[in-house]
Amino acid sequence: MTDLWHFTDIGDEARDQFALKMRDMVWHETRRRLGYGEGKGPHSVNALAPTSAAAKRLHLVYMEVAAEVDSVARRLVDDAAVRAGRAGASYTELGEAVGGLSRQAARKRWPEAVGTHWVLYTITGKEPPRGRATSLYRSKDKAIERGRTAVDEGALADDGAIAAVVVNSGREVEWACWFNDAIWGPEETELPEDLRSVPAPEAPEHTDWQWRWEQFVSRRP
């Protein structure tokens, strides 16, 4: 294992300097959280007595900060993978960009990054609490057909679909419908502007989008 406090070479010079900057950023934030002022406290992460309570606390806070950096970095990588896929990158290229991930592993990590994918979302249940279902298709027409059929047949069961949307690989709504009691069948509808862009499933905003979509459907005439 490389100790970033003492290493001399982990790659080319530019990457070494980048790693050092990341290390210093984590150390600076660790000192801030521990309340060390300018010129006070240990000068490095290894300056305290190794078995002391103070060292234990310092290392745990350092781990906390480093883990947050890792979490942010992973989100940046995932976002870049989707944008690269949209621009024409293959799963092989995405895997190589993160240090040699296999094509299969890259596809598993970013299932919607490469090629055209269409996601069908449905709201189920005539009364709250309602459920939600998600399906992935390679064909837009097939996704719309399945969505319309699900809403059309939804009237036959209490837990059937009452609304559906089809979302493209850019996370934009391409088609939407709901069950119209007046015509007793599915009716295509236009979603309001704030519902036409769908956050990625792993994003915290995704759950909020689903809730707002359900509220919109619940207020249908």
| pLDDT given for residue 171 in this prediction | 82
| pLDDT given for residue 50 in this prediction | 87
Compute the distance between CA of residue 150 and CA of residue 152 in angstroms, rounded to an integer. 6
pLDDT-based confidence at residue 215 (cuts at 50, 70, 90): very high
Compute the distance between CA of residue 76 and CA of residue 116 in angstroms, rounded to an integer. 21
Amino acid identity of 217?
V
**pTM beyond cutoff 0.85:** no
| pLDDT given for residue 7 in this prediction | 54
Neighbours of 185 (CB within 10 A): 13
| pLDDT given for residue 214 in this prediction | 92
Compute the distance between CA of residue 123 and CA of residue 156 in angstroms, rounded to an integer. 15
CA dihedral 87, 91, 93, 95 (to 10 degrees): 130
For residue range 134-154, what is the model confidence (pLDDT) as tens digits? 888 878 899 999 999 999 998
pLDDT-based confidence at residue 1 (cuts at 50, 70, 90): very low
Higher pLDDT, 211 or 6: 211
